[in-house]
A = this chain, B = another copy of it.
């Protein structure tokens, strides 16, 4: 069914397979009057694109975006924005063998169970390449957030067993190293760890942390569309995500109420503040004006060169060694995907909040 659409007001519909003609997205519900150029989108696509580090697939794709509609004289017109990225590096590869196997850790088996067959070329629709369209749409969402003063910052918190040290936190490092880690020392250790995994024909997982600054209080729609609920859905929709937590997260389950409650406090300057942010910026499903903070756990890349056991479509036990172009870690390339999904969600719920009070609506009609 219709699972490739996202958003209620700022609605996107993505399409495309790993080895099809192209990938793209239609954005329906972008307001008129936002300056938009291909380069605004390209810069985010460039952060996602393959072949940029020793730890990402060498698939060589320029991933150039085309704006096909919805923009006129450099501004959005309020009509649907269609964005497309052509696939140019589909290798003429023999997929006969893989078409008959269920790769461990992949969606081969479940797609076959659901649809009766599947486009097995490079994972088809279940490939991480699908996120290209999300990043393109996310870049448009970020333009809107920028107009509203909201910033999203995601980064690699840990790779396998190596975590950043918050005392060394340096946001500039996010863009400076291959791994998106805001701690140059941890980044170096993680690189060494990855080299090792690569040598073993193996892969690893990791955790991404995401912070949102500048989001006004009031965003989120209880009771089923609490801000954390809709963000969690957005984040779990990224392939390979196995866990999401906000603020104190799982640790809150072992805290007492008196420890976990964030106490409000008026500063001498008359500004309301909180003494802690265990809530991660969301109370009762509504943003409280303090930074949103969440962590997203990614499983290791399932495609590894190491030999594995599996079953084929004829129901026979077989050995498998997955050929192709594998990333030993997908976390660094997923950082921009996390940002994109958070951006798409925030725009949708910022828009919804415009309609929360009658007085705001009346103001809009003046």
Q: A244 and B232: CB pair below 8 A?
A: yes
Q: B300 and A1: CB pair below 8 A?
A: no
Q: A204 and B106: CB pair below 8 A?
A: no
Q: How far is the CA of A67 from the CA of B20 in the complex (A)?
A: 10
With a CB–CB cut-off of 8 A, which chain B residues contact A225?
1, 3, 237
Q: A360: nearest residue on chain B (CB-CB)?
A: B364
Count of A interface residues, CB-CB < 8 Å: 168
Instruction: Map CB proximity to B onto A207-231 as digits: 1 under 8 Å, 0 otherwise.
Output: 1000000001110111111101110
- What number of copies of this chain does the assembly contain? 4
Known: A111-B286, A309-B263, A365-B216. A1 touches B207 (CB 8 A): no
Residue of A84, A130, A301, A354 ringed by the most chain B CB atoms within 10 A: A354
Q: How far is the CA of A116 from the CA of B353 in the complex (A)?
A: 12
Is A22 at the interface (CB under 8 A from chain B)? yes
B69, B217, B228: the one within 8 Å of A21 (CB):
B69
Name the distance in Å between A120's Cβ and chain B's nearest Cβ: 9
Is A182 at the interface (CB under 8 A from chain B)? no
Is A253 at the interface (CB under 8 A from chain B)? yes
Q: A270 and B14: CB pair below 8 A?
A: no
B67, B72, B218: the one within 8 Å of A124 (CB):
B72
Residue of A11, A147, A299 ringed by the most chain B CB atoms within 10 A: A299
Q: How far is the CA of A299 from the CA of B32 in the complex (A)?
A: 29
Is A191 at the interface (CB under 8 A from chain B)? no
Q: B114 and A250: CB pair below 8 A?
A: no
Q: How far is the CA of A250 from the CA of B245 in the complex (A)?
A: 10
Cβ < 8 Å to B, chain A residues 303-354: 303-304, 306, 308-311, 315-317, 350-354
Q: How far is the CA of A206 from the CA of B197 in the complex (A)?
A: 35
B253, B283, B284, B288: the one within 8 Å of A297 (CB):
B253
Name the distance in Å between A252's Cβ and chain B's nearest Cβ: 4
Q: How far is the CA of A214 from the CA of B107 in the complex (A)?
A: 20
Q: How far is the CA of A8 from the CA of B278 in the complex (A)?
A: 33
Q: B283 and A107: CB pair below 8 A?
A: yes
With a CB–CB cut-off of 8 A, which chain B residues contact A1?
9, 29, 221, 225, 352-353, 355-356
Name the distance in Å between A254's Cβ and chain B's nearest Cβ: 5
Q: A286: nearest residue on chain B (CB-CB)?
A: B110
Known: A31-B361, A102-B264. A114 touches B252 (CB 8 A): no
Cβ < 8 Å to B, chain A residues 1-31: 1-11, 13-17, 20-24, 26, 28-29, 31
15 contacts between A and B (CB under 8 A): A1-B352, A1-B355, A3-B224, A13-B80, A14-B224, A17-B69, A24-B82, A32-B115, A77-B115, A114-B220, A126-B222, A148-B362, A252-B298, A270-B315, A354-B361
- Having A3-B223, A116-B357, one finds 20 other A-B pairs with CB under 8 Å, namely A3-B224, A4-B28, A5-B13, A14-B223, A15-B80, A15-B81, A16-B80, A31-B356, A78-B114, A79-B125, A106-B284, A107-B286, A110-B286, A224-B234, A229-B234, A249-B297, A252-B297, A257-B302, A261-B302, A354-B361
